[in-house]
């Protein structure tokens, strides 16, 4: 299907101090001088969300968080609610990243509950799915990812702004990427699962690819059918690298 404007989102993970915002400022200034053909977002650690929002105010860089709690408030020491992210200036939030699914035991149901919380706070969720290397080698990638989409997307997403990110776990931070055919196959399956879950409401939202995207491979990946953008980890930390990906969109 014809995709609308692509979304290129950076995920700094647990990286970045105040001084790192110079990279975000450099990105924002470069995009002001030469506008991008896509949407651009930076998803930063919660400690930097408000400072990022101030640093890029008035520009095109959108501000995101990397996780939120499923509850709106309460006795959850150390957690950040979706409303807190929105209050700090975020408009997007990554949910269900494989590092949270694996490291913090987040299930599809947990992710769906967080998506509900994000929507209630007016945030645009970027919902991550992806198979492990074992699952890929067992020929289960499409089945696993389709099940994650079905379980992680609440029906309330229909008609709302959101994105799904297909991120093969074995491609994240490894320098490995699937073949373009493999990306196309899984993205088609993700779209079918989105439509199966949300009906017509599953046709519009972009499906991002994530996993070792860099300036040198971005153009070919972003040209694959149903690739509506990219979720970028390591290569989003430096403005110059991230711009190389943005300019390929």
- Enumerate binding residues for ligand PEP (CB under 6 A): 11, 13, 167, 172-173, 210-213, 231-235
Single out the catalytic residue among 131, 167, 187, 226: 167
Give least dist CB 212 to ligand PEP, A: 4
Give least dist CB 144 to ligand PEP, A: 17
Pick 146 or 212: Cβ nearer ligand PEP? 212
**Beta pairing, strands 124-129 & 39-43:** unpaired
Pick 142 or 232: Cβ nearer ligand PEP? 232
**Count of alpha carbons within 13 Å of 41, Cβ hemisphere only?**
29
Pick 210 or 229: Cβ nearer ligand PEP? 210
Give least dist CB 233 to ligand PEP, A: 2
In this chain, which residue has its C-beta nearest to ligand PEP? 233
Pick 193 or 231: Cβ nearer ligand PEP? 231
CA distance readout (Å), 47 to 1, 2, 14, 21 = 38, 37, 10, 12
Q: Is 167 a catalytic residue?
A: yes
Structure tokens at 152: 């992680």
Q: Is 97 a catalytic residue?
A: yes
Give least dist CB 248 to ligand PEP, A: 14
Single out the catalytic residue among 62, 97, 99, 187: 97
Which active-site residues does the annotation give? 97, 167
């Amino acid at each position: 299907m014809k995709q609308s404007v692509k979304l290129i989102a950076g995920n700094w993970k647990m990286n970045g101090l105040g001084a790192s915002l110079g990279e975000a400022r450099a990105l924002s200034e470069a995009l002001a001088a030469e506008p991008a053909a896509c949407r651009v977002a930076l998803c930063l650690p919660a400690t930097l969300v408000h400072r990022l929002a101030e640093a890029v105010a008035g520009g095109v860089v959108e501000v995101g968080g990397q996780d939120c709690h499923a509850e709106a408030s309460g006795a959850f020491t150390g957690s950040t609610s979706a409303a807190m992210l929105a209050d700090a200036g975020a408009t997007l939030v990554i949910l269900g990243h494989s590092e949270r699914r694996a490291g913090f035991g987040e299930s599809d149901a947990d992710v769906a509950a967080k998506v509900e919380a994000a929507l209630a706070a007016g945030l645009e969720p970027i919902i991550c799915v992806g198979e492990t290397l074992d699952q890929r080698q067992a020929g289960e990638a499409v089945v696993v990812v389709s099940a994650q989409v079905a379980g992680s997307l609440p029906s309330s997403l229909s008609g709302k702004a959101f994105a799904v990110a297909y991120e093969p776990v074995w491609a994240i931070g490894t320098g490995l990427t699937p073949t373009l055919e493999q990306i196309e196959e899984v993205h088609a399956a993700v779209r079918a699962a989105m439509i199966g879950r949300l009906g017509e409401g599953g046709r519009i939202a972009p499906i991002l690819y994530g996993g070792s995207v860099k300036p040198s491979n971005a153009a070919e990946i972003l040209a694959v059918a149903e690739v509506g953008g990219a979720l970028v980890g390591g290569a989003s930390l430096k403005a110059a690298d991230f711009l190389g990906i943005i300019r390929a969109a």
